[in-house]
Amino acid sequence: MGGKVILTDNLNYEVDNIIRLSEGYKRKYYIYGSKCKEVETIKGLLQDFNFIPLEKTIDPTNIPMFTDNSTQDFFVLKYPRLNDIMDRNIDMHQTVLKGYKLVIEEHPFLTKKDVYWCYFLWSFFDKGLLGYPHCYAFQRAKLVNGVDPYDCSMLANKVAVASDTSISEIFHNDIIVKRIVLEDSLKSDYQEYKKQLFETESSQIIITRKLKKFVNSKVPELKKGFDLSYLFRVYGQYKSGERVLIVSDAKVDIFLETEFFKYINNVNLFVRTLWDATRT
């Protein structure tokens, strides 16, 4: 089994690579996630491929994909995004289907916030590249001897041997930060509400989201711009043209702003490193 991950948002670049890499294979499949909107266009460009929605991988109608499955099969997996680590459709492509796997994405973490989601991209054909036997091991990895398991430069260099990219940067230096100073009375109410939450809630995530919701409800302008409560939405917002980050001086916003830019920097560091590593 062989494979490669290509990070790209360029359809011509994608199709050219597919045609080149799939030459000589017996059966060819294009498996696409729900976020793939240009399927009909791609069908016209890859007429010798069988097209199957990712979520229908294990439908009875797709049994031919598993019949006599061999290393002579070629699979494209476009946007293999998932919400459940145990997704059976994903698992079938990871562990059952043989052949060459060409994974196409435009985001190294499958649009998620956490770095460990990058595990899935290379897991379809080589789980050893990142050095973890399964996603849970990577998800639970800790700092060891000063080495950060989520160092995106280190991770990108690990997988560069089985990667290519047409993207050198995802988030550009064009995000505008607008700051709002809360009135003293609101800050007092915020502190009282925060105290109540720490007495009744045990989850830091829930506390953070409730505090953010509280501040937003008092200052409606904070509801505009990027959604700090759910960073997995940031990429979609940015891609749709959003460029404004609106934050208050409440501690919850200070924390979320830090997380926001940490996420932005992680994504960019990964793709920039991969760009450089695949061109040396």
Q: Is 279 helix (H, G, I), strand (E, B) or coil?
A: coil
Structure tokens at 264: 């932005």
Mean pLDDT, 10 residues at a time, the chain of 280 residues:
94 98 97 96 97 96 93 97 93 94 98 96 93 93 92 97 97 98 97 96 96 97 97 96 98 98 98 95
Query: Which residues 6+ apart lie within 8 Å of 27 measured at CB?
Result: 50, 72, 73, 74, 99
Q: What is the pLDDT, as a whole number, of residue 280?
A: 76
Q: Which two tokens stand for residue 269?
A: 């560091």
Q: How many residues are there in the chain?
A: 280
According to the model, what pLDDT value does residue 106 have? 97
Give the model's pLDDT for residue 77.
98
- What is the domain partition of the chain in residue ranges? 3-167, 176-266
Residue 1: the pLDDT is: 64
Query: For residue 146, what are its two tokens?
Result: 């000063």
Considering Cα of 21, then 168, then 224, then 199, what sign does the dihedral take?
positive
- Report the C-alpha gap between 43 and 238 in whole angstroms: 28
Name the token pair of 120. 């899935």
Q: Is the dihedral of CA 201, 202, 207, 209 positive or negative?
A: negative
pLDDT of res. 167: 97
Q: Are 215 and 199 in contact (CB under 8 A)?
A: no
Q: Which residues contact 20 (CB under 8 A, 6 or more apart)?
A: none
| CATH tag for 3-167 (out of 2.10.260, 2.40.50, 3.40.50, 1.20.950) | 3.40.50
